[in-house]
């Protein structure tokens, strides 16, 4: 029986790729490095902001920490004008909440930016738990934060569904002892998620709702 659903953020709850691309390339321009493509941005996200910056920098760049600090500062001030919801998402989240499920969010995105995004884009959907990277916990796929979310929500890990679009989310669900659902509306392909160990897939929020209803 499922009592809580934990969501990844980028590519799962919100389509943030446009804003990530704009801020990464803004950082690269500021530091005198060549910009990267949207396809590269999509491939580089998922393992936290510092790993994203590291992957975006040219090989041999020796100012990773400086670039990472600049990127975080820039991103936290972003107006997020390019970020949007996925189709049918708001209504599904409201119905899931109405069924008594606790909703949480666990991401490798910097914590301040995480909270600001949720408050701006999904203010009417109350999340019982929302946490990003503030160096208090290891980044996913380490399961520590996911397990802490379950503890905070007063549910067992086995009573949690973990929904995400990345390999790190698949591995987090497995390591945390949660029911994993790999969403196909995000930034990874079915084959990539299958290779990471995913066994349950949702093509959209409507299908996620149907999967959830069978586990209530």
The pair of three-digit structure tokens given for residue 5, joined into one six-digit string: 């659903």
Is residue 10 part of the annotated active site? The answer reads no
8 Å CB contact between 161 and 179: yes
125-130 long-range contacts, Cβ below 8 Å, gap at least 24? 125/90, 125/93, 125/94, 125/97, 126/97, 127/103, 128/4, 128/102, 128/103, 128/104, 128/153, 129/6, 129/102, 129/103, 129/104, 129/105, 129/153, 130/104, 130/105
Give me the catalytic one of 8, 10, 15, 133.
8
The pair of three-digit structure tokens given for residue 195, joined into one six-digit string: 């290779």
Catalytic residue set: 8
């Amino acid at each position: 029986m499922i009592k809580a659903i934990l969501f990844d953020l980028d590519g799962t709850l919100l389509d943030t790729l446009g804003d990530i691309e704009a801020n990464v390339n803004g950082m690269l321009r500021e530091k005198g490095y060549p910009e990267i493509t949207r396809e590269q941005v999509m491939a580089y996200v998922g393992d936290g902001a510092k790993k994203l910056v590291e992957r975006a920098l040219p090989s041999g760049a020796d100012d990773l920490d400086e670039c990472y600090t600049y990127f975080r500062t820039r991103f936290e001030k972003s107006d997020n004008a390019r970020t949007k919801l996925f189709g049918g998402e708001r209504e599904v989240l409201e119905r899931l909440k109405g069924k008594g499920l606790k909703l949480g969010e666990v991401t490798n995105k910097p914590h301040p930016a995480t909270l600001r995004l949720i408050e701006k884009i999904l203010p009417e959907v109350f999340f019982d738990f929302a946490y990003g990277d503030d160096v208090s916990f290891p980044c996913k796929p380490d399961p520590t934060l996911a397990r802490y979310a379950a503890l905070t929500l007063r549910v067992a890990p086995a009573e949690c569904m973990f929904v995400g679009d990345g390999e790190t989310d698949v591995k987090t669900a497995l390591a945390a002892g949660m029911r994993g659902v790999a969403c196909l509306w995000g930034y990874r392909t079915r084959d990539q998620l299958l290779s990471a160990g995913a066994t349950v897939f949702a093509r959209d929020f409507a299908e996620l709702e149907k999967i959830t209803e069978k586990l209530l």
